[in-house]
Amino acid sequence: MTTSLNVTNHSFTDCHALAVALAERVADQLRASLVERDVALLAVSGGRTPLHFFEQLSQAALDWPKVQITLVDERWVDEQDPRSNARLLREHLLRHAAAAARFVPLYTGAATPEAGQEEANRRVHALPLPFDVVVLGMGMDGHTASFFPGGDQLESALDPRRPPGVVPMRAPDAGEPRITLTLSALLQTRQLFLHIEGEAKREVLAQARLGLGDAAHYPVRAVFAHSPVPVSVYGCP
């Protein structure tokens, strides 16, 4: 483990070992929170990276009925759609012991994320913030959650003074319209993890943190710039 300003790096040579270790860290934090306040709140990312981590976490010994889980962002598609992050969670995280957790989806079934924003905001405002754990992923373009370069609501989503909530997001590389927690919402957390796999992402992250070239505009930089808690980066090749 290496530590630099506001960042703790956890590098693994094996992605399975990373998934096991990250699931243990997250479960430990959720357990500690349950002792303190009888509820625990977790926000996770979609995409392909977290699958093994989800499988591990779903089997952790925890008082799951007291755990609330939501997503840091959602693709605006029906839950049957293979691109739905809610579907991903139901298939890989909300199983085994974790099937008893309470899942709070961001997708509302409205025709567009703009039409669903009010209801999604209501759901987020009803969560017992702060989060105990937020686990982010990152794309090769330096996006995290749905903070995409070129996103139509990027500035608003990243405004640290904006009240915590959700914003719709449309971007050329997003695939479909999205909804995302605001930066101010996902930074209200006791622990923050960034989970990346592959040398290429490690390189993107290094460039982003240094602010070199295009990377100066990578949205993931905002997380490092504004996070009040250290960002624990979990990476494997």
Helix (H) or strand (E) holding 178: strand 178-181
Q: Is 194 an interacting residue with respect to ligand 6PG (CB under 6 A)?
A: no
Tell me if 73 contacts ligand 6PG by CB under 6 A.
yes
- Taking residue 147's Cβ as centre, other Cβ atoms within 10 Å add up to 32
Nearest to 161 by CA among 140, 142, 184, 145: 184
* C-alpha of 1 from chain center: 22
Let me know if 5 is exposed, middle or buried by CB neighbors in 10 A (0-12, 13-18, 19+): exposed
Pairing of strands 131-136, 178-181: unpaired
Q: Is 85 in the site for ligand 6PG (CB under 6 A)?
A: yes
Least distance to ligand 6PG, CB of residue 137, Å: 2
Name 9's bridge partners. 2, 233
Name which position in 26, 46, 131, 188 contacts ligand 6PG (CB under 6 A).
46
Closest CB to ligand 6PG among residues 60, 138: 138
Q: Is 182 in the site for ligand 6PG (CB under 6 A)?
A: no
Contacts of ligand 6PG in 120-149 (CB under 6 A): 137-139, 143-145
Q: Does 58 bind ligand 6PG (CB under 6 A)?
A: no
Among 29, 33, 49, 117, binds ligand 6PG (CB under 6 A): 49
Tell me the number of residues near ligand 6PG by CB under 6 A: 15
Q: Cα separations (Å) of 200 from 139, 206, 232? A: 10, 10, 18
| Minimum CB–partner distance for residue 76 and ligand 6PG (Å) | 11
Cβ 45 to ligand 6PG shortest distance, Å? 4
Least distance in Å: CB of 136 to ligand 6PG?
A: 7
Among candidate residues 174, 187, 191, 182, the one with its CA nearest the CA of residue 234: 191
d(CA 90, CA 111): 22
- Of the candidates 73, 36, 8, 10, which has an alpha carbon nearest to the alpha carbon of residue 28? 36
With CB under 6 A as the contact rule, the residue among 45, 117, 121, 188 that binds ligand 6PG is: 45
Nearer to ligand 6PG, 23 or 100 (CB): 23
Residues at the site binding ligand 6PG, with contacts judged by CB under 6 A: 45-49, 72-73, 75, 85, 137-139, 143-145
